[in-house]
Structure 1
């Protein structure tokens, strides 16, 4: 690096970005690890291995993640195949509707499954009246069912994209050599799309390990890693963080191991997706078409039941925890907008500020990494990707460990909530920004500089306008995921700063499902309205980045 590099504003901006990432990403992680090893009293790791509950929680989490991953793969891969390879009545809706599950917050999904199949659920009561007793939805049954019908969408998206890119001429060549069609798909297409299936499945595994909302609501007495981590954080508070830090470290190690396996599998792949002529969908009619459409439609309908249930619940009269189904009222929504609007206001304020900061920071850092590389940018790139491997619970514990008192006391302020949002969702903007910058020729910016425009002004006037569609898409995606965030914010929030997900969680814990439904319906509207407006007015497909 020469002297001119040190005089460049980009170099100092890179150093500033590295400093911020070191402070707000690396520093909390270091605090988690140090607290687990050198906290007050016995080492957290010695307490971990000597406490059966913690060992059981780790094993249960691995079993749950494995079961959900297998079921999601069994559901997602066939659904992706029939969507990509066949045309049938209702296909357009079946192909699109699973994406809606991505914007239904998990706390709402858990709540609505309980409203349908809980001990006093609508379906449970109906079955009981005709002499059929359904198994308890708490524990393994509820956890596996609810998570599977949420996370299968990730396998579906990854697989349908891989099948769409597969060159059908390879399959036809195998058939021309006498291989039966079904066997040709297994021998030719499956090995090519297998890395995409495995990558999606491993994503489901890591998301299940870090899941908090569903685990906390439905696990009941079943120990799970995210639940016991939260319980340790509540029990220890901020005075002693040894055990919560140790459990958070275990979660990080599990995710790191899974990501390592993912990278190893992908690196060993001997097949590439050959982009060419995709297969023309085969029309399905008659009984066969009805069976395919019915099976696919049933999966999609079940996954969308939470959206229907929460809509009904928001307008249903309730007396305390007892829902009066069939009696309608607007009182629940009046509570959201008139009686207790603070959670809505807090969510809009915190998520709005976090989205702006996250997107602005991501756009600048992406530009530095792609267009102005130096000795520091690789470290910036790597550190900015770390939040992808962190669950919200781990991040919350890390922020509490790092910023409770000391030289930068943030605990008890709204700043720490916004900070949690920014760190968790920053990689979305980074991914979108870097993807579009790789496609922008350097000559465009160089031409502007050669005409006498300063480098920073050239970025603002030439590069940034080209990036705007990707930045806008990342902003919508960041907003939708930030406003529904629960696992980190529930650990770092203080009284009077409840957000919509936190308020819903507290109401569910109190059994007030009607009020929870009203807040949940407003939360879904807050998420979906920007998505619809971005698509209709600006043609932005928020799901294209997934």
Structure 2
């Protein structure tokens, strides 16, 4: 018995009897093997260790009982949900109005607003946390300014500071998704509500917002998942306010040499929260119908008077406030320092210190990220082809697995890599290879999604024609398909590079003195009070991310969608 197909690219694969492998069957097996080793196995090992007794190695549920009963962990869980939910709420409260104003009204500089929002998105969140310390820390310049006026402002440390950073860091997800959805709403629904006597506010809450709720909720879910998984921000601003990510890291460092049972248990609770949030959102959306005809789209309106000024003020206030920490970092990097103290003069001493004290961090960041991205580019093309052109149960499973790295926090994945690859002849801990591996698997979905979107727009008849003319499936793929999907591959690779070079949570667990990266060095410098060195390294990271964003703008058909 065989499975037949009219597509000459898809050779028959025997289900019963002799098995004949073609190129794409071999690639399918290769992709499955890679995902099993680098994704399924580490997560499974974390799951397995969480049920082991740290001392005896016997099966137990005591670890989970302790997490949900001991006040230390319960408080961490409550803190995580608090900053995650409130940070997400804050992102929605500024992201949705910003999207509405820029999508429905004539706002001068819309492209600039979107660009600044995207730059906020690609900057690592822990840099924002560090910048807010420079502004509102115990000795921040804003804090000192108000002290001079006799006013004592609360410092940035604690839950309120973490929520502020999450709000201003992640609102672009809500903004970009909602803006795209608002442009597709059928204006007839809003016109009907207006004819029935609804004012502008009522139309927005009863008609427009429900129609774009899938986009808003998806952006909110991304904000929530990233907030509860974020390590750098609560680690820098927490000052005793512990979240599950910082607790998992502390547990891991205290359990070095033994089984990281509590660290992985806490990590799995984080992952379970992310999956549960996604399930609730999908469940809620499945009960309602949100589709509408893509006709009679809204007309851009011109506001007048104070409404026009108010809309412009709100839009620019949001993006400038969100960008301000980045500007502070860049400004701080050109201030002269005397050890850890700023002298108030201008100079490049911080950059000289980078060249003297942290050249290996820069070299490692670029080396690890570029190697990982090169492999991502290859596998993105292969996986995208399997998902789009070979639609079956296996390719569908691979497509689903591409969602997993989005949901698994970096701390969870890193601990999984340690438990999987630290024994026997394949002990990879402390090597550059293990960092490349984790950057590859965590950032692979960016390349796959971008390339898959591009490939779906290409008719398979072009590849079929090449095969009919005698080309092998491999040659048809390399000669025909790859050139056509090259823009998607490049955009996906650039997005993978931006996120890989800024990775902190996983590399902080896996690095040693020889494999330190720029984000790790920045984190250590902030904890040591070396703000000048941290600012210079942060600026280098920001410039690299900005150049990649500019490249995406040049190559992507829809630059905003490429980042979401």
TM band (smaller chain): over 0.9
Per-residue deviation, residues 154-179 of structure 1 (Å, max 9, x unmatched): 11111111101112233223334444
Q: 1:489 aligns with which of 507, 521, 536?
A: 507
Secondary structure at the aligned position of 1:518 is classed as helix
Moved more, 428-437 or 471-480: 428-437
Per-residue deviation, residues 121-151 of structure 1 (Å, max 9, x unmatched): 1111111111111112111121111111111
Is 1:27 matched up with 2:74? no
Q: Which residue of 2 aligns with 1:112?
A: 131
Q: Which residue of 2 aligns with 1:532?
A: 550
Q: Which residue of 2 aligns with 1:2?
A: 2
Secondary structure at the aligned position of 2:50 is classed as helix
Query: Whole-Å Cα distance in 2 between the matches of residues 181 and 59 of structure 1?
Result: 38
- Gap change, CA 1:49 and 1:274, over 3 Å in 2: same
Is 1:266 matched up with 2:280? no
Per-residue deviation, residues 398-455 of structure 1 (Å, max 9, x unmatched): 1111111135211011011111111111111111222222222221111110000111
Contact kept? 2:229, 2:270, Cα under 8 Å: yes
What pairs up with 1:384-403 in 2 under 5 angstroms? 384-403=402-421
Contact kept? 2:234, 2:242, Cα under 8 Å: no
Q: Which residue of 2 aligns with 1:15?
A: 29
Secondary structure at the aligned position of 1:280 is classed as coil
Query: Whole-Å Cα distance in 2 between the matches of residues 356 and 525 of structure 1?
Result: 21
- Gap change, CA 1:71 and 1:534, over 3 Å in 2: closer
Secondary structure at the aligned position of 2:258 is classed as coil
What pairs up with 1:298-377 in 2 under 5 angstroms? 298-325=317-344, 327-377=345-395
Contact kept? 1:428, 1:478, Cα under 8 Å: yes
Secondary structure at the aligned position of 1:271 is classed as coil
Contact kept? 1:348, 1:483, Cα under 8 Å: yes
Q: Which residue of 2 aligns with 1:46?
A: 65
- Gap change, CA 1:60 and 1:174, over 3 Å in 2: same
CA apart distance, 1:387: 0.8
Q: Which residue of 2 aligns with 1:473?
A: 491
| TM-score (structure 1 length as normaliser) | 0.96
Q: Which residue of 2 aligns with 1:241?
A: 260
- Gap change, CA 1:219 and 1:273, over 3 Å in 2: farther
Query: Whole-Å Cα distance in 1 between the matches of residues 118 and 539 of structure 2?
Result: 18
CA apart distance, 1:477: 0.7
Query: Whole-Å Cα distance in 2 between the matches of residues 273 and 239 of structure 1?
Result: 56
Q: Which residue of 2 aligns with 1:222?
A: 241
- Gap change, CA 1:85 and 1:384, over 3 Å in 2: closer
Is 1:293 matched up with 2:307? no
Q: Which residue of 2 aligns with 1:460?
A: 478
Unmatched runs of 5 consecutive residues or more in structure 2: 4-11, 14-19
Moved more, 89-98 or 304-313: 89-98
Is 1:544 matched up with 2:561? yes
CA apart distance, 1:51: 2.5
Query: Whole-Å Cα distance in 1 between the matches of residues 205 and 507 of structure 2?
Result: 45
What pairs up with 1:150-165 in 2 under 5 angstroms? 150-165=169-184
Is 1:200 matched up with 2:214? no
Per-residue deviation, residues 29-88 of structure 1 (Å, max 9, x unmatched): 111111110242364223323431111101110111111111111111111111111114
Q: Which residue of 2 aligns with 1:423?
A: 441
Query: Whole-Å Cα distance in 2 between the matches of residues 535 and 148 of structure 1?
Result: 25
Is 1:76 matched up with 2:95? yes
Query: Whole-Å Cα distance in 2 between the matches of residues 92 and 8 of structure 1?
Result: 48
- Gap change, CA 1:435 and 1:540, over 3 Å in 2: closer
How many residue pairs are counted as aligned between the two chains? 544
Please tell me the root mean square deviation across aligned C-alpha atoms, in Å. Answer: 1.8
Query: Whole-Å Cα distance in 1 between the matches of residues 419 and 53 of structure 2?
Result: 11
| TM-score (structure 2 length as normaliser) | 0.93
Is 1:122 matched up with 2:141? yes
Per-residue deviation, residues 341-368 of structure 1 (Å, max 9, x unmatched): 1111111110000111112112101111
CA apart distance, 1:382: 2.3
Moved more, 373-382 or 495-504: 373-382
CA apart distance, 1:534: 4.6
Contact kept? 2:337, 2:349, Cα under 8 Å: no
Contact kept? 1:215, 1:227, Cα under 8 Å: yes
Contact kept? 1:230, 1:393, Cα under 8 Å: yes
Contact kept? 1:474, 1:542, Cα under 8 Å: no
Unmatched runs of 5 consecutive residues or more in structure 1: none
Q: Which residue of 1 aligns with 2:463?
A: 445
- Gap change, CA 1:404 and 1:471, over 3 Å in 2: same
